[in-house]
Every structure is written in C-alpha cells, then in structure tokens.
Structure 1
Amino acid sequence: MTDKPVLVSVDGGVGRLVLNRPKAINALNDEMVDLMATALRAWRDDDAITAVVLSGAGERGLCAGGDIVSIHRDAKALSEAGADDAAAAACPSAVFWREEYQLNSEIAKFPKPYVALMDGIVMGGGVGVSAHANTRIVTDTTRLAMPETGIGFVPDVGGTHLLSQIADHLGVYLGLTAASINGADAIALGVADHYIPSADLDAFVAAIAATSVDEAIAQYAQTPPESALFAQRDWIREAFAADTVAEIVRRCEAVDPSSPHKAAADKAASTLRSKSPTTLAVTLRTLREPLPTLDEALHREYRVSLRCVRGHDMAEGIRAQVIDKDRNPSWNPASIDAVTAADVDAYFAPLPDGLELTIVEP
C-alpha cells in the first residue's frame, strides 16, 4: 500500500522499511514508529528474514527528524500553562518520545544485519533510526546532524550516547553547534561504517537480496574522501574541552588570527551565541557526563525532553525557526552567563513515580 508512511515488504529474505513521507523529508510520526516497531518485532525471530534495509522515499533524504509543528503545539500550551512533569508526560509529544526511544533501543539490539542507508538529509529522529544500526551506510549526499539546540531542545534519540563517544571533543562541537557533517566526516568520526555512492544504492540493495550484506558491501563500498571536519580537530579539541559554554565561546574567539581555522572558530562562537543558553548548558552536561549504555542515555534524555517541552525555550525556538521563521528567538534567560547550575540540575532531576521512561526488552 503505497499510501502508508512506512512501506514494509520482503524481497529475497530481506525485510525492507522505506520511510514514505517524501514531501516532509520522511519526518517521523507516531504511525511510522509503530509500523517500524511492528515489522522489526515480527522479523527478529523469523528465520526467513536474513537482514533488514532501511531507506527513505524521495530524493531529499532518509529522514529530517520528528514532527516539529506538533511538538510546538504541546510546548506552547505547556509553557504558557506553567505545566508540571505529569502534564508534560501526558502530552502527545511525550507519548511519541516513549515509543520512539523504545524503537531506538530495539534497533540497537536487532540480532540480524540492519542496514541503514543514511543518504541525503539525516537529522534528529532520522539519526535515531539509523545511527544505532549495526550496518550504517553513508553516501556522497549525506548531510547528518543533531540540530536540536537551534530550537531550544537537546540531542535525544540516543544522540547524546553517540556524540559522547566521538574523540577529540568533536561530538561536543556537533551537539552544541548543531553543525551538519557529510558522509566522509561520519566515517572518520565513527558514526557510520561504510561509504557507498548514492547512485549505487539500488544496486547495493539488490545485491544484498541476491547474495548477502557482507558480499554486497565488499562489492560496492568505497574509500571515502578525506574528512574536512576531522582536519579541524586540533582547534576543536582545545576549544570544546572547556567545562562551560562561556569558556568554549571564549576559546573559539581566541583562536589565533593566523590560523587557517580562525573563520570556522569565529563561526562556531557566533553560532553558540545564537542558541538557547539553557539548552546549550544542559547539552554540555549530558556530553560531559556520558552514561555507559544507550538505554541509560535514553532514560536520561527522556527526563530532559519533558523538562524542555514544558519550558520556555523550546516553544520559542520552534516558533522562531519553523512557525514564524523570523530566526529571532527570545531566549529566557537570554545570556550564557545567566544560566545557573540549579537551572541545569532541574533538567536532570528524577521524575515523579510512574513517569520515568521504561525500556522493554524485545
């Protein structure tokens, strides 16, 4: 049924999941998460299924994230009402996050080859359904990012777990600035496994069905180009090792004017000054204090997500970037120096009884 938002099929023992909302760059909604989870649970123990391939319909990308407009409705209502954790946990966005984070966990634990074609735009929720896969394919068109800080949110869908494992503080840089990376960068940073030109993906998938995942990779994978981001790791390592967002900004601005990376450092500083001071501080805390497992990271991310959706900055950030598109958010507090340790601590406090995220083992 081609009108379904996820096309589920089987070809030669390979389960196919095609995200099918191309006009929205396959942004995830509740039905899509449910369709994916149902298929994966059926295929886990089905001996006829040897592998799963995830891809996106259309030419723009795998998945641009979640339904931001719906989240804005919840965030606006909750923040204006001064809602508590219980009200936030009952909103549609929180219900969606619980199901989405459960899916992220199941993808990471899937016992068969799960091949994610990270072609084109792969952002936010799109990272969650692909970057936890055991076989991650990037291409010459890949544009991958965790863009949450730009809308007063924090990296979720296990993004904090992925970013915290990237060496040289490059994950901190990506999480705070919301910068996008290409396929070569993703390979160099360890968030993808193989590089295959976009034009070869159809033949690659056909080869999986005709032979196996390993043979198809051997036939089509190529050595990626050099990573431009990886080449900047020295100044990023120095600047983003700081313990506070304010000090990171200061170190970016202090990069030697004669450095070939001075323009990139100044851009990073300017970018950080434009984003929600509170969610920058919260994001930095999560990346400075990594948890050992994806499930633990998802548990903490859910706490933080609830506090974001009922706070001021998420509603305001989405308004400025997506609803009114004036690109002029009014953050509260407005400056990096005005965010207190108590402000940040509140995002990580345990939720009331019965509200914590529970990951159910598949």
Structure 2
Amino acid sequence: MYDPRADSPVLVRRAGRAGHLVLNRPRAINALDHAMVRLLADVLTAWEDDASVATVVLTGAGERGLCAGGDIRSIHDDVKAGDGSASAAFWRDEYRLNARIARYPKPYVAVMDGIVMGGGVGVSAHGDVRVVTERSRVAMPETGIGFVPDVGGTYLLTRTPGELGTHLALTGTAVGAGDALLCGLADHYVPSRLLTDFTAALGDTEVSEALRRFGRPAPAGELAACREWIDHCYAADTVEEIIERLYACGERQAKEAAETILTRSPTALKVTLASLRRARELPTLEAVLDQEYRVSCAALALPDLQEGIRAQVIDKSRRPRWSPAGLDQVTPADVARFFEDVDTAAPQLRAGRSR
C-alpha cells in the first residue's frame, strides 16, 4: 500500500485514533510528484473503512511549508523530452485525489503552515478542517509559469467574496492567515508554537475540542480594505480592461497589481480569466476539475509552460519570453482551444461532496 521507509516521500503513522500523513520532501518544500499522489490515495482508501482511524491529519516535513505545489521540474523535463503524457497522467490522478479529499467521509485536517501553493492547495484546501498559522503563505501562482490555476483552484477562487479570487488568480499573490480565512481557503487559525500540541491532541480528542483548545483569533489580513477597487477592477470582461481599470483607479496597490499581471503569460492570463468565469457556472468541484484537466492538457502543447518553468525554476533568470508576447496577440479562438474535450484520459470524476 505505501512505502514504510523513513525516506518515503509520504510518511504514514498512527497516533491514537488519528492517522497522520506527512509530505516528506522538505528540500523541495514537499513538492508533489506522481508517487506521492498515489501513496496519499492508497492510504486514504485503506483508512476510509478502518474504524480505528477517526481523523486524518496532513502536515509537511521541514520548516518551510506544507507543500510548494507540483513537481514542475518533472513537468518541464517531460514536455521537453516527450509528449507530456506523464504529466497528463500525473494530473489525472492528482485531480482525482483532490476530489477524493473533498468528499472524504472522515475529518480531514490539513495543517497549512508555511508555504502552501498550487498542488499544496489541492491537497489541503478541499479538506474539512483547514488550519493556517502566522507563517502561512497561500497562493495559486500558476500564471507566473505560463500555466492556469488547477487542482480545483478555479473552483475555490470563484467562491471567494466578490472578485478577490480573480485578483489572486491573475496576480498569483500569496496571502497570509487572515486573508486565507477571508477568502474561504482556510477555516481556523492556530499559532505555529501550538501545532505540535494541537496535532497530538487529535489522537484522543474530537477535532472540534482540539480547535477550541488551540485555536486563536487570526491576525488581520490586508484584502478586506481593498475590496472596493478589487471588486470594481476585476469585474471587467477582459484582462485588458482589468488592467486599464487597475491603472485608472488611483490606488497604489492596484497599480502594483497591474504591473504584476503584465509580467505574466498573456495566454495564461486570458485562459485563467475564462476558466474562472466558466467555473462560476459549473455545479460541482468535480465538474470544475474536469474543465481544469482539459485546460492543463492543452497547456502542454504550447510553449509558455515550458518557458515559464525554465525561467522561474530551471535557470532562474526570472525573465520568461512569452509566446505570444502581448495580450492583443491572444485571440478568442486561442482561448477556446483550451476548453475542447480531451479523450479517454479525462478524470471522469464522479459527483460527490463539494465545498
């Protein structure tokens, strides 16, 4: 079922009535690869009908974060050397895992301490109990690597108040605990100094009681004060108009957001906005994940994903050369192609509980 070795990429242990899953690639901030996704799925299957496991607890090894996302180096190598089929298979199983977490029949407690980005959001923010700390930095930064928010990210971001999710999706901005709570990406705040006691208590205490004992009021966030300009600017129908509104509204943070957006992949920006608008009309997380799978597979065939990973992670030049380079060069037909059906490889996620 899973690798019991201490160097396994997912550590599995039991403490009282709690089953603990520890993402264990600390040097990579616990970035997810296909083996880890399979291990997580196998253990969740085993524990679903195990009466001795009352609660599942997800944490990350090391001090830097729960999970920095998917292993994008392997995606880069797969696209560069082959046809991207390994990446498509990874996403298929990853998105199934995201849906599984969302409908899991037992309390699933995700400790979102430190960096939680991309795929890290997928294995945490769909859970029942999502705990952030003063060290949490939660983000869906995909447009910066020529990609589009996935792992159910477009579902979560379209359920935020107003247009906060559109702002986070296009800019890739990381938020702290207070804003994660405001945006519905987390539920509870526990100071990092109390995490060891909190997770230990879950072995013999109901989750609600552990939260009562160790939960605290979260520090104030920053986004609530920005709602007026965010809601106005990001309600526009096109990325170009959003940028115009951001520059015109007179707020310093809005101008900075516009400048950030203009560094992102033009294709990824337009597809992201379309994905968000479409996701708002889809009824379940599973339906959104199906859409994200089509979009992700389409991204494999275009240059921006490989180029974005190269610039941000491989040689770290931080100067991607997007193709096309301008928003005006990305046509509606270019965007529409991302939403065409993918054949037999589609996730085919069954309906289930969604947040």
By the TM > 0.5 criterion, same fold? yes
What is aligned with 1:84?
none
Tell whether the 8 Å contact from 1:151 to 1:318 is kept in structure 2 after alignment. Answer: yes
What is aligned with 1:301?
292
RMSD (CA atoms): 1.3
1:356 corresponds to 2:322: no
Task: For structure 2, list consecutive stretches of 5 or more residues without a partner in the other structure.
Answer: none
Q: What is the aligned counterpart of 2:270 among 281, 293, 313? A: 281
1:128 corresponds to 2:122: yes
CA distance in 2, matches of 1:35, 1:349: 31
CA distance in 2, matches of 1:240, 1:76: 35
1:238 aligned counterpart, secondary structure: helix
What is aligned with 1:37?
41
- Equivalence map 1:19-38=2 (5 Å): 19-38=23-42
1:323 corresponds to 2:314: yes
CA distance in 2, matches of 1:275, 1:29: 25
Q: Which AA in structure 2 matches 1:270?
A: E
CA distance in 1, matches of 2:289, 2:124: 15
Q: Which AA in structure 2 matches 1:3?
A: D
**CA deviation after TM superposition for structure 1 residue 357, in Å:** 2.3
- Deviation per CA, 1:224-279, whole angstroms, max 9, x where unpaired? 122212221111111111110000000010012xxxxx221111111111111111
2:124 aligned counterpart, secondary structure: coil
CA distance in 2, matches of 1:49, 1:10: 8
- Equivalence map 1:142-157=2 (5 Å): 142-157=136-151
CA distance in 1, matches of 2:219, 2:346: 43
Tell whether the 8 Å contact from 1:74 to 1:309 is kept in structure 2 after alignment. Answer: no
1:243 corresponds to 2:233: no
What is aligned with 1:113?
107
What is aligned with 1:6?
10
CA distance in 2, matches of 1:68, 1:149: 13
2:274 aligned counterpart, secondary structure: helix
Q: What is the aligned counterpart of 1:341 among 311, 329, 332? A: 332
**CA deviation after TM superposition for structure 1 residue 10, in Å:** 1.0
- Stretches (4+) displaced over 4 A: none
Q: Which AA in structure 2 matches 1:45?
A: D
The number of residue pairs the alignment matches comes to 346
Tell whether the 8 Å contact from 1:149 to 1:176 is kept in structure 2 after alignment. Answer: yes
CA distance in 2, matches of 1:243, 1:5: 43
- Deviation per CA, 1:51-78, whole angstroms, max 9, x where unpaired? 0000001000000011111111123346
CA distance in 2, matches of 1:267, 1:168: 20
1:212 corresponds to 2:206: yes
CA distance in 1, matches of 2:180, 2:187: 8
Q: State the TM-score, normalized to the length of structure 1.
A: 0.93
CA distance in 2, matches of 1:344, 1:76: 23
CA distance in 2, matches of 1:226, 1:182: 9
What is aligned with 1:259?
none
**CA deviation after TM superposition for structure 1 residue 207, in Å:** 1.3
CA distance in 2, matches of 1:184, 1:355: 39
Tell whether the 8 Å contact from 1:74 to 1:92 is kept in structure 2 after alignment. Answer: yes
CA distance in 1, matches of 2:94, 2:346: 15
1:172 corresponds to 2:151: no
2:236 aligned counterpart, secondary structure: coil
CA distance in 2, matches of 1:361, 1:265: 39
Q: What is the aligned counterpart of 2:155 among 135, 154, 161? A: 161
2:253 aligned counterpart, secondary structure: helix
1:69 corresponds to 2:105: no
CA distance in 1, matches of 2:60, 2:243: 37
- Equivalence map 1:28-107=2 (5 Å): 28-77=32-81, 87-88=83-84, 91-107=85-101
CA distance in 1, matches of 2:260, 2:187: 29
CA distance in 1, matches of 2:295, 2:274: 11
Tell whether the 8 Å contact from 1:189 to 1:230 is kept in structure 2 after alignment. Answer: no
1:287 aligned counterpart, secondary structure: helix
Q: Which AA in structure 1 matches 2:18?
A: V
Task: For structure 1, list consecutive stretches of 5 or more residues without a partner in the other structure.
Answer: 79-86, 257-261
Deviates most, 321-330 or 45-54: 321-330
Distance 1:10 1:361, change over 3 A: farther
- Deviation per CA, 1:308-330, whole angstroms, max 9, x where unpaired? 11211111111111112111111
2:325 aligned counterpart, secondary structure: coil
CA distance in 2, matches of 1:333, 1:77: 22
Tell whether the 8 Å contact from 2:17 to 2:202 is kept in structure 1 after alignment. Answer: no
Deviates most, 49-58 or 320-329: 320-329
Tell whether the 8 Å contact from 1:186 to 1:192 is kept in structure 2 after alignment. Answer: yes
1:54 aligned counterpart, secondary structure: strand
CA distance in 1, matches of 2:15, 2:193: 20
The percent identity for this pair of structures is 54
2:14 aligned counterpart, secondary structure: strand
CA distance in 1, matches of 2:121, 2:202: 22
Q: State the TM-score, normalized to the length of structure 2.
A: 0.95
Tell whether the 8 Å contact from 1:75 to 1:314 is kept in structure 2 after alignment. Answer: no
